[in-house]
Amino acid sequence: MAANVSSYIATTGTSASRNADQISFSFLARPQSLTAYVRFVELGSMLASSAMRILHIGLLATTNPRFDIYFSGTNHALAIVTASTSRTSVLAGSLPALGDVVELRGTIASNGAIQLHRAINGGSEESATATAALVLPTAWAGTNLILNNEITTRIGTVGVLNVLLLRGVQTLETMRQVIGIS
């Protein structure tokens, strides 16, 4: 962590605040078997009353086909939506608290089935039920990988620490080793 404020907002006599960060990258990979991993500090996404995207592949809008790891308003979820079909894998365990370090690992198997996994504060991983198989689309709706974006208009509320996407279904241990925390 920086010893000094790294994004100072100059003001004269009044206070100012900065919105939470959101970032997007070009993502050119086609839909395929993959593991998407995001590690973040929980800063309030679980307080949202509407869906808050943590990691999204597709267009900024909710155009299909797309891939989302998000907070549904009740728990963390993973969804893949094609032009005609959608699958959702939702966790049922306890929610993280403010300040917890959360690891979410969303997988797409070679048959198109998806599954979401979560570890809190380096603990053991819990897993949602894997979905039924799904024929993967030939392309996503857009070529964006977007982090920390609420589906409506507000910016998300997670402090992203690490993001990693690897081809194939990978274990949590593999993802941790690649980013150097294991």
Contact 172, 125 (CB under 8 A): yes
Residue position matching structure tokens 């977007």: 146
Read off the pLDDT of residues 136-182 as tens digits, 9 standing for 90 and up. Answer: 999 999 999 999 876 555 556 788 999 999 999 999 999 999 999 97
Contact 80, 108 (CB under 8 A): yes
Residue 96's closest CA among 46, 156, 161? 46
Order of all β-strands in the sheet with 52-58:
23-26, 144-150, 52-58, 66-71, 76-81, 86-90
Read off the pLDDT of residues 42-98 as tens digits, 9 standing for 90 and up. Answer: 987 777 666 788 999 998 777 899 999 998 888 999 999 998 899 999 999 889 999
pTM, to two decimals? 0.86
DSSP state, 109?
-
How many beta carbons lie within 10 A of that of residue 115, not counting itself? Answer: 18
User: Under CATH, what is the fold of the domain 23-179?
Assistant: Jelly Rolls (2.60.120)
